[in-house]
Amino acid sequence: MSQRSGPPPIVFILLFIALLGGGYWWFFMRNPTPQEGAKVPPPTNQVDLPPEVTQAPAAPIAEAFPSPSSVSSGTSVRIDGSTTMVTINQNLKRSFERKFQGTSIVTSATGSSNGIKALIDSKVDIAATSRPLKPEEEAQGLVAVPIASDAIAVIVGRDNSFIQEGLTSAQVKDIFEGKVNNWSQVGGSNGSILVINRPPVSGTHQTFKKLALGGNDFGTTPNITTLPRDETTGLIRVLGLNGIGYATFAQVQNQSTARVLRVDGVTPEAATYPYTRELFYVYKNPPSSGVKAFLGYATSPEGQQAALIGN
């Protein structure tokens, strides 16, 4: 009988154990999981990114009235006022009417001052305004409720040749007061500046006058044109190649036919942007049950989410 050639079985057993141990080391010990609290060095291909520039969070809105759990069917609330607040009005209208079946929120936008006048005359229940109340308006029993924060953007037409980093707040003031009327005076190419102003009935007009002009009047030079109506679409349409105007940032930030200019080196999203304001709903004492319900909802966390991003 011939003998079998080759290594004895014990060799294969030892080889199997060695392979098993090597596999364990490869999968589990080569890149050990760091223990809790251990410092992990960054990967060698990590790219350092610049810090993001974000706007400081706005302070929470105080609830005007308790948020309602139910609202009687047939309740109707009429709102008029600021063109800036059209989106907020529509967002809250949809959300409120969906949550409280059978209610009706009727909205229009004829300007802050017109809305306040309609409220005083009892033609509407709430005035939407992008400016604070005047003392004489408060004396008539009007109460302003903060709803949101907003920024006023300085804009030029898409094809305007002014391509600098932006303007300083002093240059903005001089332009809208009529002291500077050529783009070359602020670092641009030679060309007349056409200033497009909003009408005085506009809350944005009144707030921009206070914030940008320090309360001074807008200029009356020939290069300054005041629109007959408070509308952002019409303002953008007439900017052309040399115009400059202003509008609530939310209405122009995604516009394809207008460009937002930096002011003092920052955009309207920045916490240090100089032209920021509060937006208000105004009611007249004593408020109706419908007004209490709508304002209670609008200032609740649920209403705030609906107002700003839709729901």
The region of weakest confidence among 54-63, 77-86, 91-100 is: 54-63
Q: Does this model's pTM top 0.75?
A: no
- How many whole angstroms separate alpha carbon 208 and alpha carbon 210? 5
- How many whole angstroms separate alpha carbon 196 and alpha carbon 214? 19
**Class level of CATH domain 151-276:** alpha beta
- Give mean pLDDT, residues 139-167: 94
Asked whether this chain's domains 76-150+278-309 and 151-276 adopt the same fold, the reply is: yes
Tokens of 56: 């400081």
At 71, is the secondary structure helix, strand, or coil? coil
pLDDT digits (tens, 9 = 90+) for 243-263: 999 999 989 999 999 999 999
Are 203 and 130 contacting, i.e. CB atoms less than 8 angstroms apart?
yes
- How many whole angstroms separate alpha carbon 210 and alpha carbon 204? 10
Nearest-10 Cα torsion for 168, 170, 172, 175:
-130
The region of weakest confidence among 39-43, 154-158, 194-198 is: 39-43
Cα 197 to Cα 102, 145, 208, 218, 293: the distances in Å are: 41, 27, 10, 8, 37
- CATH of range 76-150+278-309; options 3.30.2290.10, 3.40.50.2020, 3.40.190.10, 3.40.50.720: 3.40.190.10
- Give mean pLDDT, residues 135-155: 96
Question: Is the confidence at residue 80, as pLDDT, over 60?
Answer: yes
Question: Is the confidence at residue 186, as pLDDT, over 60?
Answer: yes
**In the prediction, which pLDDT does 31 show?**
41
- Give mean pLDDT, residues 59-65: 78
* Domain boundaries defined on the chain: 76-150+278-309, 151-276
**In the prediction, which pLDDT does 8 show?**
53
